[in-house]
Chains A and B, each alone.
Chain A
């Protein structure tokens, strides 16, 4: 059982380049999330999705776009990468609160992204 899988694990970009981070979960979770982790700041929510075809902004959405075309996948896009987006990105998923309100979020192993 793979759980939450993030692709790629590492990436180096130049300023202005674009890229997409892929998150895939095989637990049939309704909810999915993208966080970024920066030194001394913990994890901050970028965007999240409560179901296929729906997305919403989190705490730090600027500069990112997301899509949830399939229930098992949640894509995070950087249209024009900036050095301030250098970070470790974590994807997470969880059951809907209506199915089971006590399930914690399951996290992927993270993607380390450097913008030069």
Chain B
């Protein structure tokens, strides 16, 4: 069965600390997509990254980086030198390509609080 687990419910860090948000997924398929979305206090969902199952290269975008490891079914997200504006709920999501649509299975989210 498809499942996404974000075991960290809440994380609190002090500004400028590095923080890693964990995401573990389960899928029957060999072809799938993984996503991270950010939900700031204003409530909208902001797309951060998409990764397909055949691309295990880590990705860096500014202070954000993602570590995809198929061997452990994990797609972890690291924020370097965190800032107060990073405070949000972060969702990891999975989409199986064999499906006729691109339904997303979301994790329960990790609430990140960055204190000044």
Interface residues of A (CB under 8 A from B): 31, 33, 35, 40-45, 48, 50, 56, 58, 88, 90, 92, 94, 97, 101-107, 109-110
B44/A110 in contact, CB under 8 A: yes
Q: A50-B100, A102-B52 are in contact. Are A109 and B43 (CB under 8 A)?
A: yes
**A contact face: mostly helix, strand, loop, or mixed:** strand
B45/A107 in contact, CB under 8 A: yes
Contact partner of A102 (CB less than 8 A), chosen from B4, B50, B103, is B50
A43/B50 in contact, CB under 8 A: no
A105/B108 in contact, CB under 8 A: no
Most buried by A among B45, B50, B93: B45
Contacts between the two chains (Cβ within 8 Å), count: 59
B106/A44 in contact, CB under 8 A: yes
Contact partner of A42 (CB less than 8 A), chosen from B101, B102, B107, is B107
Subset of 8 A-B contacts with CB under 8 Å: A31-B102, A33-B104, A43-B91, A50-B101, A90-B45, A102-B52, A107-B45, A110-B44
Interface size grouping (class) on chain B: 20 to 34
**B contact face: mostly helix, strand, loop, or mixed:** loop
Residues of A within 8 A of B108 (CB): 40-42
Most buried by A among B37, B52, B91, B100: B100
Residues of B within 8 A of A31 (CB): 101-102
Q: A40-B9, A88-B43, A109-B44 are in contact. Are A101 and B106 (CB under 8 A)?
A: no
Residues of A within 8 A of B50 (CB): 102, 104
Q: A97-B97, A110-B43 are in contact. Are A45 and B104 (CB under 8 A)?
A: yes
Interface residues of B (CB under 8 A from A): 4, 6, 9, 33, 35, 37, 43-45, 47, 50, 52, 91, 93, 97, 100-109
A104/B91 in contact, CB under 8 A: no
Known: A42-B108, A106-B47. 13 other contacts (CB 8 A): A31-B102, A41-B108, A42-B109, A43-B93, A50-B100, A90-B45, A94-B102, A97-B102, A102-B33, A104-B47, A105-B47, A107-B45, A109-B44
Residues of B within 8 A of A109 (CB): 43-44
When A and B form their complex, which 6 residue pairs have the shortest distance between CB atoms, in order from nearest?
Answer: A42-B106, A107-B45, A42-B108, A43-B106, A104-B47, A109-B44
